[in-house]
């Protein structure tokens, strides 16, 4: 009897993770390897907020994604940003982002799925206010990354590595390039039941290492450095709808010169698959 129950759970899980009508799980603050199913459409509305000293930034994003194949997806992000540095407040359209992800490896076994993907994102120079990099940066920037994921009935593991290359604006300012490294674990408190609500609890360790910015080739003292965050989150799904939310708490910081250290970052996403 126990064997039949176990086999049923495993079979249901394999259908659960392979079906195009349900969600594969990814972390909140870092990318995972999963892609949208072929010819699928994803609509995502996200809000985020961060605070560092007197600086407060927030935004509302609309993401549209299309599944080109079962292993390749592409999309566009349309952001609206607000910034407050303690003296001035500004808001407006942020830089449009174009992105794509290709899953080049997938391995399914009994109750387990492993996969890996590469991703590319291009941040265009079309924000409203290029004098405030929280709205429009005044540059075209690119991000290249790799993500790996392990998904089982109970446990999840993810890791990712990304590199962001920033351009130079009309004033000769070039923000420092940045490395991003992530280690993530997740646990499903209750085993999944197909077409029923499913919850995965997530804990991330997110690291960022930024190079110094340069102005006309000269390095700027109060720029660049390293920060690490511990980030609890949750991924809740019901059929073709999902809610993903989390908050980042800084646990280590080594910033160059005089820079405000991060106080927190938070994110909430609502996602539909069509």
pLDDT value of position 87: 82
pLDDT value of position 131: 66
Residue numbers in the chain where pLDDT is lower than 70:
1-24, 129-131
Domains and CATH numbers, the chain: 2-273 (2.40.160.40)
pLDDT value of position 130: 60
pLDDT value of position 128: 74
pLDDT over 70 percentage in the chain: 90
Q: What is the pLDDT of residues 148-172, one digit of tens each?
A: 999 999 999 999 999 999 999 989 9
pLDDT value of position 244: 97
d(CA 27, CA 202) in angstroms, rounded, equals 7
d(CA 212, CA 9) in angstroms, rounded, equals 51
Q: What is the pLDDT of residues 125-154, one digit of tens each?
A: 998 766 677 788 899 999 999 999 999 999
């Amino acid at each position: 009897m126990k064997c039949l129950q176990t086999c049923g759970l495993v079979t249901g899980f394999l259908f659960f993770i392979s079906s195009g009508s349900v969600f594969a799980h990814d972390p909140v603050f870092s990318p995972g390897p999963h892609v949208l199913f072929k010819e699928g459409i994803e609509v995502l509305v996200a809000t985020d907020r961060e605070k560092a000293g007197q600086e407060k930034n927030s935004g509302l994003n609309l993401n549209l994604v299309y599944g080109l194949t079962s292993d390749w997806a592409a999309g566009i992000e349309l952001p609206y940003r607000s910034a407050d540095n303690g003296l001035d407040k500004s808001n407006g359209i942020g830089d449009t982002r174009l992105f794509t992800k290709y899953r080049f490896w997938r391995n399914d076994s009994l109750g387990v799925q492993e996969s890996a993907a590469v991703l590319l994102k291009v941040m265009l120079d079309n924000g409203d206010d290029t004098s405030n990099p929280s709205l429009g940066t005044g540059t075209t920037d690119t991000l290249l990354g790799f993500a790996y994921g392990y998904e089982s009935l109970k446990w999840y593991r993810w890791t990712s590595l990304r590199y962001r290359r920033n351009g130079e604006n009309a004033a000769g300012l070039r923000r420092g390039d940045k490395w991003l490294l992530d280690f993530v674990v997740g646990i499903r408190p209750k085993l999944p039941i197909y077409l029923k609500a499913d919850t995965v609890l997530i804990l991330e360790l997110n690291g960022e290492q930024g190079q110094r910015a340069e102005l006309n080739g000269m390095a700027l003292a109060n720029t660049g450095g390293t920060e690490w965050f511990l980030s609890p989150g949750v991924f809740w799904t019901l059929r073709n709808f999902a809610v993903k939310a989390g908050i980042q708490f800084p646990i280590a910081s080594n910033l160059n010169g005089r820079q405000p250290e991060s106080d927190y970052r938070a994110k909430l996403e609502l996602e539909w698959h069509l």
